[in-house]
A = this chain, B = another copy of it.
Amino acid sequence: MTEKEILELILPGLNGSSSLEIPPGDDCAVMKIPMAGTEGNNRAILKVDTIVESIHFNPDDDAERVGHKALARPLSDFAAMGARPAAALVSLSLASPADGNWITGFYRGLNRLAEKFGVCVAGGETTRAMEGKSISVSIVGFCGDGGYVSRHGCQEGDALFVSGELGGSIQGHHLDFMPRIEEAAWLRENFPIHAMMDLSDGLGSDLRSMLDPLDMGADLLRSGIPVSRAARARAREGLTSKSPVEAALTDGEDYELLFAVAPSMAVKVKDAWKAAFPEVPIACIGKVSPNKGIRIQTEKGFELLRQKGFEHFATPEQNGTASGTATNTPDSDPSRQ
């Protein structure tokens, strides 16, 4: 079974989850705090994430970087909602005999990131494992009415943005990335963001999970996809069979923001972002389409992004929407570097 199949099996049956404001399946769950004095307006935001040795990190990866990643991943889910984290619970499973230097390094990396975002590390459990290491980090945050953005609010014609540059995360970014907590909270506080998520499975796959439930799709401009140096280097050095832009669309673990705003807001958002976060790239990559699927406009025509790469196509009914009218959508975006 794939993780997706497992989730489809268990999510519908989780006790009480249907009463959540945002049930499991979004980046974080959101519940109204069942407590007198909060006037029904306060929410708890909840997320757990686990990383496992030899799957999410290598045995010889630096312990500080592993500690960073263990916390940064669920923080990225908080960023995905424009939410601020308050406290973290850490459960570290490791084989005996425990290596004190590794544990110290791990917590050095984790605590440094916690400090940066004001996260209180409220639990530091350790458990013995038979083999290897695994780390679960749960995060709770609090917010008022409307204090978060879900991933399910895209509207037809919305401009789609991503932060940073994509692809080739395996070269090191996956251990060192900085969750976009500040940028996302700023977006939510200053603009009517329709939908937001973080990129963990790759832009193509994540876009689908954002748009498929709405029976919508996306029209992207190939030249608008921000490709990382690492993705270019990997292609150049023959470390991957993917082209750089294909890597940017399909590699996982980017941990960048993907968000949607009304097309009339696109230029304002982009200009304000550049002023607020001059060191963090921002790119308008395309727009939300009423037609399912992800179409990519290239100089030579259109491609359809499939699970396993591209498929060239040019039938009129399929690319009709991709060549539709441009407002502030990527086709006409003059500021893309």
The interface of chain A, by Cβ under 8 A from chain B, is 1, 3, 5-7, 9-11, 13-17, 19-20, 23-24, 29, 31, 33-39, 41-42, 44, 46-55, 86-87, 89-91, 93, 97-98, 100, 103-104, 107, 111, 114-115, 118-132, 134, 136, 138, 140, 142-144
Contact = CB atoms under 8 A, between A and B. Distances in A.
What is the count of identical protomers in the complex? 2
Contacts of A123: 24, 29, 46-48
A3 B122 contact: no
A57 B226 CA distance: 47
Contacts of A126: 3, 6-7, 10
A-B pairs with the 3 shortest C-beta distances? A16-B120, A136-B136, A138-B138
Given A9-B103, A29-B122, A91 B52 contact: no
Contacts of A89: 29, 46-48, 138
Contact of A35 (B15, B55, B118, B142): B142
A91 B49 contact: yes
Q: Which of A15, A46, A111 has the most CB of B within 10 A?
A: A15
A124 B33 contact: no
Q: Which of A23, A39, A90, A136 has the largest number of chain B CB atoms within 10 A?
A: A136
Central interface residue in A36, A86, A138, by most chain B CB within 10 Å: A138
Contact of A52 (B3, B44, B127, B142): B127
Q: Is the interface of A mostly helix, strand, loop or mixed?
A: mixed
A131 B131 CA distance: 8
Contact of A130 (B6, B37, B44, B131): B131
Contacts of A6: 98, 100, 103, 126
Contacts of A98: 1, 6
Contact of A50 (B13, B19, B93, B107): B93
Contacts of A44: 44, 86-87, 140, 142
Nearest to A117: B15
